Amino acid sequence: MTRTDASTPTSTDQPATDQLAADLTAAHPRVIDLVARGARLNPDGVALVHLPTPDHPGTDPVTHDRMMGLVAAAAARFRALGVGPTDAVAILLPSCPALMVSLWAAMWAGVAQPLNLLFTRDAIAGQLKAAKAKLLIVPPEGAPAGLYEKVAGLEAEIPGLRILTAPIDGSVALDGEALKPDPDWRARLDQGRVSADPDRVAALYPTGGTTGAPKLARLTERSMVASALGSMLSIDYRRDDRLLAGLPLFHVGGAFVGALAAAAAGAGMWFPTIAGFRNPAVVAAFWQMVARHRITVGALVPTSLGAVAGTPTEGADLSSLRVVLTGASTCPPEVVKRFLAAWGGDAVRQVYGMTEFSGAIAQVHHDVMPDGAAVGLPLAQVEVAVLAEGVLHRTAPTPAGELLARGPQVFAGYMDPRQTEAAFHDGWLRTGDICRIAESGQLHITGRIKDLIIRGGHNIDPLILEDAAMAHPGVAMAAAVGLPDAYAGEVPMLFVVPAEGADLADLAGFIETRITEPPARPKRIEPLAGMPVTPVGKIFKPRLRELAAEAAARALLATIDPAATEAVSAATDGTNGLHLRLDLPPDWPAASAARIRAALGELPLPVVEAG
């Protein structure tokens, strides 16, 4: 049993908000009840608008009342196809009205399983088999992005699976037949409330995308409702809000911090093309879309926020924009400052959360804390603690340690029970993030436990390097990882993406003046044309670690036999983890091969030979 330093939990100091959130959670036992709340508050208000291109005026808007009618019709269709409360309905659609209707309908009729659009066919098949999915909803054959073609034929490979198509042009249909809104959706809703179980698993979300193979997180009705309500209250969504929805809906940030929280308030969502902010034209036209559609709330990941900050406003009227949300990864303070300078506003809200918490844990208001040093205060109904050297610290201030969280938002575990056990500590959800809680209650996230660079036993927080680099005006993105080293185990290596036209000749000296601890200064700085990122915009550090491993191995081989540098590469798999792969031709001189193997053996990485 872990020792604890006190019995009084760190709180948000907002008992009234906590009580309101608890009351609303109890009053809305299902996700669909929360969606219906918005329809009752604002039945004739706009719920969904699709923008086929950034300069498009928008497809015919779907009102909240009509959306609920469409959701009821889709849920009835799913049930008619054999979907029950425990059956998965997988959804492989880009952001559009049909996805929104399908998502809420799947949760109402069964279990929604949103799929990452960038998953390979094999990854999709694995997820469908793990969930025993009954339905898979995809765009029609020939639609942009080739999603139908990616999964064609899976019905023959997965017993019991049926594929349905849905349009991605702003209309709502299933298998080519337009859905007719059910005018009696209120009665259908009330019938199900009698037997509603808030602890029913109603969604399966993929997680683990930055650390390895994705796992399936089981989210309950209660966890999703509590998460969305916490975000609705903290962001202060209003019935007249217009959300430019740039966060993907296969991610809990887009689904619950964005879509469900907005829907519950009766607010509307505008989808900026099916590619969202992965579309360079959307990034370039962000300010113009805000002005044209009188957007009040923006939502985009930090990488997109930084890209938008570099685009001209060109006199666009931005007076409607009151708040911009960002999340999925820590947003560097310099990026926030650049965005605020471009906008002329002051309300960037950084959301900190995780899939296993069904969305947000905390939120920072950069209008209140412009230095961006913290990730904010816990949301309503959220308890936090810090586990440091075996002691659970629940009162602020705390030392640095692993952040733990609990509340009704916590998921019901992974599909694999063995993975679930490792996710908890004495009933608390382990975040894997290094955190300290300040006297004010602010959470200060300083890194990931697995991201620490350990130089000869000395722990180095990569954020120290990244923040120093991002302060340079010529750096657009920065990420630090460990460079394998025969003596120290690893040393800091920094990857940077230069801003357009930037000269980074002075970067090393610039960083040196900002890092007072010599061991934490980067041993090597490597420019990249683009940073590897996950589908939700997080920097994908496993790929950077592979690049660092290759750099270390090739630098070593260059001193032994320069011709051998291309024979070594780095990869990551479930058997060997991060490892070096040596592929020497059969006729390679034996003496040289022996020296190469001996040299690589000095690095703290497994070496796997081809063949």
Mean pLDDT of 593-598: 91
Least confident residue range of 178-182, 202-206, 343-347, 365-369 = 365-369
209 falls in which pLDDT band (50, 70, 90)? very low
Q: What is the pLDDT of residues 86-107, one digit of tens each?
A: 999 999 999 999 999 999 999 9
496 domain residue, yes or no? yes
Which CATH number is 481's domain given? Answer: 3.30.300.30
Convert the pLDDT of each residue in 486-543 to its tens digit: 777 899 999 999 998 899 999 999 999 998 778 889 999 999 999 998 877 788 999 9
Mark whether 464 and 507 lie in a shared domain: yes
**Enclosing domain of residue 577:** 543-609
H/E stretch holding 365 reads strand 359-365
pTM of the model as a whole? 0.79
| 472 and 527 co-located in one domain | yes
For residues 516 and 575, state if they share a domain. no
Retrieve residue 181's tokens: 């809104």
Sheet strands side by side (includes 524-527): 475-485, 489-498, 524-527
Domain boundary (539, 570, 585) is at 539
**Rounded Cα–Cα distance for residues 609 and 567 (Å):** 10
Q: Is residue 364 part of a domain?
A: no
- Same domain for 566 and 580: yes
Say if 581 falls within a structural domain.
yes
H helix count then E strand count, the chain: 20, 32
Q: What single-letter amino acid sits at 429?
A: L
**Cα dihedral 94, 97, 100, 102 sign:** negative
Pairing of strands 215-220, 297-299: unpaired
Q: Is residue 479 part of a domain?
A: yes
The H-assigned helical ranges of 236-301 are: 252, 261-265, 280-284, 286-293
Question: Is residue 572, in this structure, part of any structural domain at all?
Answer: yes
Say if residue 397 is preceded by a cis peptide, omega within 30 of 0.
yes
pLDDT for the residue numbered 370: 42
Residues 477 and 556 reside in one and the same domain: no
| Cα gap 539→304, rounded to integer Å | 12
Same domain, 555 and 494: no
Last residue of some domain: 491, 509, 539? 539
Q: What is the pLDDT of residues 454-499, one digit of tens each?
A: 887 667 888 889 999 999 999 999 999 999 987 778 999 999 999 9
Burial group, residue 31, by CB count within 10 angstroms (0-12, 13-18, 19+):
buried
Residue 86 maps to a domain: no
On whether both 555 and 604 belong to a single domain, the answer is yes
Report the distance separating Cα 485 and Cα 136, nearest Å. 47
Domain boundary among 495, 515, 539: 539
Neighbours of 589 (CB within 10 A): 11
Q: Are residues 506 and 466 in the same domain?
A: yes
Parallel, antiparallel, or unpaired: how do β-strands 475-485 and 201-207 relate? unpaired
Structural domains in the chain (count): 2
Same structural domain, 535 and 547 = no
C-beta separation of 574 from 212 below 8 A: yes
